[in-house]
Every structure is written in structure tokens, then in C-alpha cells.
Amino acid sequence: MSDADLVALSPLIVVAATSITVMVAIALRRNHGATAALTMLGLAAALIVLTLAAPSESSRVTPLLTLDPYARFYIGLVLAATLATAGLSHGYLEKQRVHREEYYLLLLLATLGAAVLVTSGHFASFFLGLETLSVSLYGLIAYPRVRPASIEAGVKYLILAAVSSAFLVFGMALVYAQAGTMEFIRIASLSGASRPAAETTLLLVGLGALIVGMGFKLALVPFHLWTPDVYQGAPAPVSGFIATVSKVAVAALLVRLFTLMNIHGYRPLLLLFTTIALASMVVGNLLALLQNNVKRILAYSSIAHLGYLLVAFLAGGPLGMTAVTFYLVAYVVTTIGAFGVISVLSDESGDADRLDQYRAIFWRRPWVSGIFVATLLSLAGMPLTAGFVAKFYLVVAGVGSTLWLLVMTLVVTSAVGLFYYLRIIATMFSPEGEVGEVRPTVSSVSLVDAAILAVLSLVLLYLGVSPAPLIRMIQAAVVGFL
């Protein structure tokens, strides 16, 4: 391994070193504030190192990892999202009766696994990164051990992850049996629709199993079993982390692998992805209409949003890949902001996730409610928000590739989704209820929480008004990959 390879790997090395430093610091002395500060400093240092490593010419570090502009962009997105999550977690954990310090160790390890995923160019690194991420998430979901719902959510996620890993390993085995290699680039060069039918069938079955495994990780329909239960039972910051960082990592890998494979040359796979996209958009939005729990609403909303994302992925080409990446950025900023509001309004009795807890909350917490309104409107795709520009790009990419059924489904289900977002907003702006009703949560908001939510809301509005700088950055990263 050369010096250039070490420079390219430096962001991952910094995150790994931070996790070890945090572990040693916890062993020496427990201090929640110091542990949170050390975690955030390590993540900030990794972001700084990432910008310094960007000019590096090294793009492949052994056959396992690919450090190209595409991977660096997604590493930056993962680190920024984790930094915001760590900051929001501090105020949340201060109100919980648990040992707080180990939480940050698990968060760093999950981040390392996500970063390995987005740089993977080999099935071995793919699986190692995925398992590092998943095993850390088991602990994060079940972290509040005094809550039965959290333990239940952790067990359910463990079962889902085990099923997902089984499909992934089986798919990898079939692809390896066909191609004789586990490197993405070599698999793509050896595969092709012109090969004999028996060989193509074996490859398609293997790739189909990989799609099923990734479908569980992305919570796409019909692989969304228990996903809302996991979101509801996990701590609010962890729910936001699952909805953003873990899904961004898997989505980035899915785009890399199947773009290299030239998925448009395999009609069965196109049909499979199209079916999953349609089902996710329809089922996610319709089931969200039936929920009275805010975290479950956001869970079904995330299922629908990943279905939207597949529209641009199936469109392909530079425009489709740009749309995918911009949509993920907008989704991350918006979703962390939404779960961040839930986090700051939660207390030691539990998360502020029941819809009736938000009744008339605007009159008690106007600025927090305003941020929540902005995130919900962005998720709905309303103008002047990042979500509007992101959905516009999806529609343009879909129309450009004549994916009319997918585009029409996207438009119609987005209109349906507007109803349950407006339902939450209407509840927040409703008049004060009678004495004896469930009162809205009014716990204090720390300075760190307020700063993070303010930054997220400003980024959300900035991307909705002036998306051009980010689009140019994305295009530079995507063009090199394509």
C-alpha cells in the first residue's frame, strides 16, 4: 500500500481511530459531554481530511475499496449526517436514564461500516461494511434497555438483518460461481446478455438475490416487514440515523454495482426494480395515511421516498445519477431535521412520537414547530424547499427515459402523501384543547440542538432556492463514476 493509498483512506482511518480513542476514554473515565465532544471532533476531523484527500489520484486501494469522487461525495454525506446525529443525540441522552457513553462508540462503528459500503468495489468489503453497520445498529436500536419497545425493535431488526444477509451471501455465491470473481468491475466485464442462456440465468438469479437483500436494508416493498416497528421502538436520533445514513450507504452501493452491470441490458432485473418501485410508492403512502404515530408515519414515508429514488435510478445516465444523488442529499437533510425535532421534544418518559402530543405545539414552541413544518413540506415536495427540487429532478429524469408509468405513480402518490404531512401540520397549529387532554411536550432545547436544527433548516431552504452549486458538485462526482 502506497502513501497515496493511505491518503485516500485517511477519512476512514480517522473514523476508526476516533472509535478507538472514544473506547479508551470511556474506560478511563465516564463523561457524557466529553465523549460526545470527542466523537463530534473526530467526525469533523474526518470531514476535513476528506477534503484534503480529494485531490489524491488513487482511486482503487486493493481490489476491495474504490476511492473515487463518487465514493468521496457519499463519505462526506455520511460523515455530515452522523455529525448532526451525534449532536442531537447528546441532548436526547441527557434526558435518558442509561449509560450514555457507549452509544457514541456504536455510532462511530456504524459510520465506519457505512463509509466502507460506499467505497466497496468487491463483495468481501461489501459484506464486511454491511455487517459492521448492521451489528452496530442492533445495539443502537435497543440501547434504552429499560424500554420493552426498544428491545423488541432491536430483535426485529436483528431478524431482518439476518434474512437480508442470507439473501446477500447466497446471491454473491451464485454470481461468483458464474463470473469466477468478486470484484464489481471484473464481474461487469465478464457478464453480458449475449452469454449463453444457462449462464445468464444463473447470473440473474444471483443478482436477484442481491436485490432482495438490499431491498430488506432499504425497506422497500415487499421487504418492509417490521420497519415501522423498528422506527417506533428505536431512540429518535437512531431512527433518523437508520432512515438516512444506513440507507444512503446501501443505495450508493446499489447504484454503483448495477450501473457497472449495465442493468438496462437485463429486462428481468428492470422489471423487478420497476415492480418494487411501484409497490413502494403506493404501499408506503397508503399505509402512512392510517398511522397516528409520527415515527411510523415517517417510516412509511421513507419507504415511499426510496421508491421515488428508484425512478431516477431506472432512468440511468448522467441525469438519472445526478437526480439520485441530489435526492439523497435532500432526503438526508430533511429526514434528520424531522427526527431531530422529535428528539428535542422527547423526555425521559419516552419519545414525542404520538400525534396527540403535537396538538397546539406551535403556540408553545413556535420555532421548533416552524422547523418541523419546513421538513414536512420538504418531504411533501413543496416549492422553495430541497424536496421540491429533488422531486423535480426525479420527474425530469423519468420523463427523459419515457418511464411514464413510474412518473405518473410518483406524481399521484406524492399528492396522496401531502395529506398525512398536512395532517401533522394541522395538529401542530390546532387550538389549545380542554383540560385533561394530552399536553404537548415542552422540554427545554439545548444550544447545540438549536444550532443543528437551525443549520439543517437553512440548508433545506438554501437547496430549494439555489441548488446549482450542489448540482455542479454532484455532476463532477457522478461523471467520473459513469
Residue 466: give the domain boundaries: 265-482
Provide the mean pLDDT of the chain: 88
Cα dist from 211 to 70, 148, 258, 403, 434, whole Å = 21, 32, 10, 20, 51
What pLDDT score does 1 carry? Answer: 67
What pLDDT score does 253 carry? Answer: 93
Phi, psi angle pair for 147, to nearest 5° = -100, 115
**In a 10 Å sphere around its CB, with 0-12 CB exposed, 13-18 middle and 19+ buried, how is residue 250 labelled?**
buried
In a domain, 310, yes or no: yes
Task: Give the global pTM.
Answer: 0.92
Tell me how many degrees the CA angle 9-13-16 measures, rounded to the nearest 5: 145
What pLDDT score does 339 carry? Answer: 93
Would you give the end-to-end CA distance of the chain in angstroms?
A: 26
Q: Stretch 111-138: mean pLDDT, rounded?
A: 93
What pLDDT score does 34 carry? Answer: 92
In a domain, 374, yes or no: yes
Q: Are 314 and 211 in contact (CB under 8 A)?
A: no
Domain total of the chain:
1
Q: Stretch 64-72: mean pLDDT, rounded?
A: 88
Q: Stretch 419-432: mean pLDDT, rounded?
A: 88
In a domain, 191, yes or no: no
In a domain, 189, yes or no: no
What pLDDT score does 193 carry? Answer: 45
Task: Check whether 323 has a pLDDT greater than 80.
Answer: yes
**CA contacts within 13 A on the Cβ side of 274:** 16
Task: Check whether 115 has a pLDDT greater than 90.
Answer: yes
Task: Check whether 273 has a pLDDT greater than 90.
Answer: yes
In a domain, 276, yes or no: yes
How many whole angstroms from its chain centre is CA 178?
A: 32
In a domain, 205, yes or no: no
Q: Stretch 333-361: mean pLDDT, rounded?
A: 88
Q: Stretch 65-75: mean pLDDT, rounded?
A: 89
- Copy the grid coordinates of residue 93: 441522552
In a domain, 290, yes or no: yes
Q: Stretch 242-247: mean pLDDT, rounded?
A: 93
Q: What is the pLDDT of residues 9-54, one digit of tens each?
A: 889 999 999 999 999 999 998 888 899 999 999 999 999 999 887 6
Cα dist from 359 to 52, 186, 435, whole Å = 47, 56, 13
What pLDDT score does 329 carry? Answer: 94
3-state secondary structure 257-300: HHHHCCHHHCHHHHHHHHHHHHHHHHHHHHHHCCCCEHHHHHHH
What pLDDT score does 361 carry? Answer: 86
Q: Distance between CA 94 and CA 90 in Å, rounded? A: 6
In a domain, 55, yes or no: no
Burial 49-86, CB ≥16 within 10 A → b, else e: bbeebeebebbbbebbbbbbbbbbbbbbbbbbbbbbbb
Q: Stretch 332-338: mean pLDDT, rounded?
A: 94
Q: What is the pLDDT of residues 176-224, one digit of tens each?
A: 988 888 888 888 887 654 454 455 788 889 999 999 999 999 989 888 8
Q: Stretch 428-432: mean pLDDT, rounded?
A: 82
